[in-house]
Amino acid sequence: MPQSGSGKSGDTYNQNALEETARSAGPYFDKSASKNVTALLGKTTYLNCRVKNLGNKTMTLQVSWVRHRDVHLLTIGRYTYTNDQRFRAIHTAHSDDWTLQIKYPQHRDSGIYECQVSTTPHMSHLVHLNVIVTVIGVVVVVAVVVGSNDCAKFKPSLNSGGAPIEHLGLVDTGVGLSFSTPRR
């Protein structure tokens, strides 16, 4: 008979009971590791689906990724079933993670992706992908007060994203702006 209390044999019994309950319950999604994703336009992203308690049932049960927009089967297990080479199934043996890699994501890739386990009836977990435009650079507001005959010189350089600054805006605050020939 199991012991009660906080003794070692009681703890071992409780741990074994929990593991046995989990094994008999079948596979389930670890939603804390299978979250919605916001991806940057053009930057490789990963949608993860963690399926716990699949055990060695991968010969009979498969994990798949389906794109909801067009109900397109993208992957089954470690195999990719789409001609779009931006998509790839990733799974490491003895891991609970089944990952959908999307290279160069576009706005059209935004939407719902379904991770399915081929139980009867099938189990599914939805992951929402949101592809956004990269915001490059930082907006810097500079206030320069100059006299009527003085000039201010601005020399834009590289912003924090490493790309050249394409636009420089000047705001007229009521004092006339003059874009005369640059002085040296």
**What residues contact residue 42 under an 8 Å CB cut-off, 6+ apart?**
104, 105, 106, 134
Phi-psi region of 137 (alpha: psi -120 to 50; beta: other; left: phi over 0): left
CATH number assigned to the domain comprising residue 72: 2.60.40.10
Q: Is residue 122 part of a domain?
A: yes
Average pLDDT, the chain: 77
**What residues contact residue 170 under an 8 Å CB cut-off, 6+ apart?**
177
Is pLDDT larger for residue 5 or for residue 82?
Answer: 82
- The reported pLDDT for the residue numbered 136 is 57
Structural domain boundaries, residue 57: 27-132
Tens of pLDDT, residues 29-42: 999 998 999 999 99
Q: Is residue 3 part of a domain?
A: no
Say whether pLDDT at 47 is over 70. Answer: yes
Radius of gyration of the chain (CA): 28
Phi first, then psi, for residue 88 (nearest 5°) are -150, 140
Total domains in the chain come to: 1
Phi first, then psi, for residue 101 (nearest 5°) are -95, 135
Cα(77)–Cα(65) distance, rounded to whole angstroms? Answer: 9
Cα(141)–Cα(139) distance, rounded to whole angstroms? Answer: 7
pLDDT-derived band at 54 (thresholds 50, 70, 90) equals: confident
Q: Is residue 93 part of a domain?
A: yes
Tens of pLDDT, residues 97-152: 999 999 999 999 999 999 999 998 999 999 999 999 976 555 555 555 556 666 66
Phi first, then psi, for residue 119 (nearest 5°) are -75, 175
